[in-house]
């Protein structure tokens, strides 16, 4: 069973995406980190590299490059798609992937 969001909020001033989950957890993602963790084939370097788990340290540690989210939309009932300010929009971020990507789950170092 997959945990699902009950709320998604993109703060374009703070450059933070906040997801509230149906089990009460609240995850906060820096925009730059989410962009760096884009799960699409192009960003992962080929289809063979797709489908792996998200890396929360990558999301946490990506330098803020000023990227923002122009728009976002739900994909069916299982994922989010972001329209980034750099023009990229190929990434489909499933709820499972987003949950794994929560930077609060990254270990030290």
- Residues of this chain, 37-66, that bind Zn ion according to CB under 5 A: 38, 40, 43
The single-letter DSSP state of residue 26 is E
Smallest distance, Zn ion to C-beta of residue 35, A: 8
Smallest distance, Zn ion to C-beta of residue 109, A: 27
Q: Which residues does residue 27 pair with via DSSP β-bridges, in sequence order?
A: 19
Does residue 103 touch Zn ion according to CB under 5 A?
no
Closest CA to 1 of 26, 23, 24, 28: 23
Q: Is the dihedral of CA 90, 96, 101, 103 positive or negative?
A: positive
- Residues of this chain, 23-42, that bind Zn ion according to CB under 5 A: 38, 40
Q: Which residues bind Zn ion (CB under 5 A)?
A: 38, 40, 43, 90-91
């Amino acid at each position: 069973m997959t945990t699902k969001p009950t709320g998604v909020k993109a703060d374009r001033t703070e450059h933070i995406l906040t997801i509230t989950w149906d089990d009460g957890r609240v995850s906060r993602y820096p925009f730059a980190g989410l962009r760096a963790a884009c799960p699409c084939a192009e960003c992962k370097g080929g289809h063979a590299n797709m489908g792996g788990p998200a890396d929360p340290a990558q999301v946490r540690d990506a330098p803020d490059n000023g990227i923002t989210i122009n728009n976002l939309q739900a994909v069916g009932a299982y994922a989010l798609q972001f329209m980034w300010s750099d023009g990229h929009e190929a990434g489909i971020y499933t709820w499972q992937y987003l949950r794994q990507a929560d930077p609060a789950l990254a270990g030290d170092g």
